[in-house]
Amino acid sequence: MKRNLLAASIAISMITLVGCADDTPEVTETDLSTPIQQASYGIGLNMGGSLLQEGLDDIDTDALALGLRDALERNDPRLDEEALNDAFAQLQNRAQERVEALAEEASAANQSYLEENAAREGVVTTESGLQYEVLSAADEEAASPGANDMVTVHYEGRLVDGTVFDSSLERGEPAQFPVSGVIPGWVEVLQLMRVGDKWTVTIPSDMAYGERSPSPSIPPNSILVFDMELLSIDSAE
């Protein structure tokens, strides 16, 4: 990856530097009374949170402040292109190694959780690896939706540690959507349910969002657990 592309990526993630106008990283000595000072500080906070999420918590803040100041003051760079490219390549390799290590840890933890959950009484595991437990069964004559149907569902989604990341119950209004328009785990389980069923559904990460989380509240490679009730099958219109 070229230096400017990687630099742009890392720039989105920078931390706590705006406001360090001298070589002393004493935030308490920086005036934050004017709007531009406050906005500058806010930029630093926002960028810093992303840096920490990337695991770059050992960035040299003095060197980072120096680079930021040189750019803003239009000073000549203190390192040549080759040195910067080499440094960014090393940083990128380290980040990739971290991602791979975290993925391995998550995979092992997920497998252990699914095995333990599958062993609980009442839990059914489908061929795909999806797991569900019937909380309240619908009438046997009740209809099941197909892939092309619209459905109305009440649900609460949480992580395996119990953290709730989405809940139609909390909003007080069920959700309506096409069966084929949701994550693969929901596509499968909705077609197994009948109107009136209440289930707890455990969705493996590869049937949820995998590595591409749609929200900071859902870490990559997360198993998702849903309490869900199929309320109705609706007209496609």
Residues identified as active-site: 155, 165-166, 183, 209, 226
76 contacts: CB under 8 Å, gap ≥ 6: 70
Instruction: Kindly provide the residue ranges of all beta strands, DSSP E only, lying in the chain, ordered along the sequence.
Output: 123-125, 131-136, 150-158, 164-167, 175-178, 198-203, 224-234
As a whole number of Å, the end-to-end CA separation of the chain is 47
Of 169, 156, 204, nearest in space to 184 by CA: 204
3-state helix, strand, coil in the chain (%, to 5): 40, 20, 40
Q: What is the DSSP string of 149-209?
A: -EEEEEEEEE-TTS-EEEEHHHHTS-EEEEGGGS-HHHHHHHHH--TT-EEEEEE-GGGTT
The continuous run of DSSP H or E covering 69 comes out as helix 61-72
Give, in degrees to the nearest 5, the angle at Cα 159 between 157 and 165. Answer: 50
DSSP category for residue 230 = E
Give the separation between CA 64 and CA 189, rounded to whole angstroms.
Answer: 49
